[in-house]
Amino acid sequence: MTNPIAPPVSQKKGILYVVGIGPGAEGHTTPEALAAIRDAELVVGYNTYIKLVSHLLDDKQVVRTGMTEEIGRARTAVEHARDGARVALISSGDPGVYGMAGLVFQVLKEMNWKRGESPELRIIPGITALSSCASVVGAPLVHDFCAISLSDLLTPWPVIQKRIESAAAGDFVIGLYNPASGRRTRQIVEAQQIIRQHREGTTPVALIKSAYRKQQNAVLTDLDTFLDYEIGMLTTVLIGSSQTFTYEGYMVTPRGYTNKYTWDGKPIEGQRPGHSLRLTEDQPQPIQGDQE
Ligand code: SAH
């Protein structure tokens, strides 16, 4: 079988920046990410993300593509960079979290690229949706959490179901990326049903749409009622653990300090700073966080 990706045509070493621009507003894009975009001759990205950085693109060549054209976008970026250009391939949030970084490596592998050859890779992290969305609603990720994408476009649904089940059983705070789209509405309903088997209906749930963009909207609700609200492609869903609570319209998951200390900072009787939490009969299994 012939390799579908053409061999190098130039010896000049290019740079491929794989850039995370954060959630939206420029204030949340790192200086490194902005510098990479400024340095690039060619910027490649999905339309929405290109729009978010359009003010930085005046003198540049831009390749915008639609949602389902990721392979083409990654190949375009890699091939131009391999041929000597400075290219920025843009992802929202972090490029290494449901972003383009993985596909870039697959394209490089397919073309048998080796370290030291063109292009030089610079992967620039960004604030991922879990972090930005958490900050909008308070402090929901202060104890163990996990991220699950509900998109079954590239992952079989039974695999996703199993992960939801495991996360729910493990009492993780669960961050759901890609919870629904115009066509994909069933997955979030099934996710709710699975998680509800392990958690109270009153468990806090936050729906954060377009964090740090003009259309930002956040709803704090609970496991029994969150499906009554709009959930779409621009929403991240945060589902609390058994310890997560709401306070003054915020969602908070405690770290566990009050399992060990009183509010004047002294250890509770039987507990020792710097040592594993001691379990007592009254407090048999704090899976995580404070006992409320
Ligand atoms: N690389 C991105 C994730 C891309 S997957 C990152 O690190 O954030 C796309 C999903 O991310 C969306 O369906 C949504 O669930 C979430 N998302 C991305 N940006 C968001 C934002 N500004 N507000 C809320 N959710 C967002």
Q: Which domains does the chain have, with CATH numbers?
A: 15-127 (3.40.1010.10), 130-252 (3.30.950.10)
Sheet of strand 235-239, all strands in order from the earlier edge strand to the far edge: 145-149, 173-177, 235-239, 204-209, 217-222
Torsion sign across C-alpha atoms 175, 177, 180, 185: negative
Asked if 72 and 5 touch (Cβ cutoff 8 Å), the reply is: no
280: CA distance to ligand 1 center in Å?
A: 42
Residue 92: closest CA among 119, 125, 43: 125
pLDDT score, position 183: 92
Residue of 51, 68, 92, 152 to test ligand 1 pocket, by largest number of atoms within 8 Å of CB? 92
pLDDT tens, position by position, 115-124: 999 999 999 9
Q: Is 189 exposed, middle or buried (0-12, 13-18, 19+ CB in 10 A)?
A: exposed
pLDDT tens, position by position, 168-196: 999 999 999 999 999 999 999 999 999 99
pLDDT score, position 243: 96
pLDDT tens, position by position, 36-63: 999 999 999 888 888 888 888 888 888 8
Of the pLDDT bands very low, low, confident and very high (cuts 50, 70, 90), residue 258 is: confident
Total Cβ atoms within 10 A of residue 287: 12
Establish whether residue 178 lines the binding site of ligand 1, counting it when its CB lies within 6 angstroms of any ligand atom: yes
Establish whether residue 129 lines the binding site of ligand 1, counting it when its CB lies within 6 angstroms of any ligand atom: yes
The DSSP letter of residue 40 is -
Distance of CA 79 to the CA centre of its chain: 27
268: CA distance to ligand 1 center in Å?
A: 41
pLDDT score, position 103: 95
pLDDT score, position 156: 97
pLDDT score, position 289: 53
Kindly report the protein residue whose alpha carbon is nearest to atom 9 of ligand 1.
Answer: 178
pLDDT score, position 68: 65
pLDDT score, position 292: 44
Measured between alpha carbons, how far is 288 from 285 in angstroms, rounded to an integer?
A: 8
177: CA distance to ligand 1 center in Å?
A: 6
Span 91-100, average pLDDT: 96
pLDDT score, position 164: 98
pLDDT at 29 over 60: yes
pLDDT score, position 285: 56
Establish whether residue 137 lines the binding site of ligand 1, counting it when its CB lies within 6 angstroms of any ligand atom: no
Establish whether residue 103 lines the binding site of ligand 1, counting it when its CB lies within 6 angstroms of any ligand atom: no
275: CA distance to ligand 1 center in Å?
A: 38
Establish whether residue 151 lines the binding site of ligand 1, counting it when its CB lies within 6 angstroms of any ligand atom: no
pLDDT score, position 291: 46
